Amino acid sequence: SAVISQKPSRDICQRGTSLTIQCQVDSQVTMMFWYRQQPGQSLTLIATANQGSEATYESGFVIDKFPISRPNLTFSTLTVSNMSPEDSSIYLCSVRVNGEQFFGPGTRLTVL
């Protein structure tokens, strides 16, 4: 199994600013995933982050808007840049261990 923590757990931000979300896993993992869950909707994969290489982004998501760092095998950050109210969502970090996907508690972001 894997235990994932995220910081911050929630934040309220002004439009035009940026927020960096941190994800820490209690074991070393090759791939870390970032998802977004907009209000009342399902989870959408933003990108996959491998240690030591650039993240792979899904259609509709770009590095300039959601830069990701992956400095080691237990940590990753996701930055939501130049925020607008449409970015208000829960952002979740996830890892895959032994065929099972584990999720962090999420970061609830509200953009005013």
Partner 1 sequence: AQSVTQLGSHVSVSEGALVLLRCNYSSSVPPYLFWYVQYPNQGLQLLLKYTTGATLVKGINGFEAEFKKSETSFHLTKPSAHMSDAAEYFCAVSARNTGGFKTIFGAGTRLFVKA
Chain contacts with partner 1 (rule: CB under 8 A): 30-31, 33, 35, 41-45, 48, 50, 56, 92, 94, 96, 99-101, 103-106
**Residue with Cβ nearer partner 1 (74 or 94):** 94
**Residue with Cβ nearer partner 1 (49 or 111):** 49
Distance of closest approach, residue 40 Cβ to partner 1, in angstroms? 9
- 30, 6, 4: which is closest to 19 by C-alpha? 6
Distance of closest approach, residue 91 Cβ to partner 1, in angstroms? 12
The C-alpha atoms of residue 100 and residue 86 are separated, in whole angstroms, by: 30
The secondary structure of residue 17, as a DSSP letter, is -
**Residue with Cβ nearer partner 1 (31 or 73):** 31
**Residue with Cβ nearer partner 1 (1 or 14):** 1
Distance of closest approach, residue 72 Cβ to partner 1, in angstroms? 18
Four-CA torsion 54, 59, 65, 70, nearest 10 degrees: -30
The C-alpha atoms of residue 91 and residue 43 are separated, in whole angstroms, by: 9
CA 84 to centroid of chain Cα atoms: 17
Distance of closest approach, residue 66 Cβ to partner 1, in angstroms? 16
Tokens at 91, concatenated:
């952002």
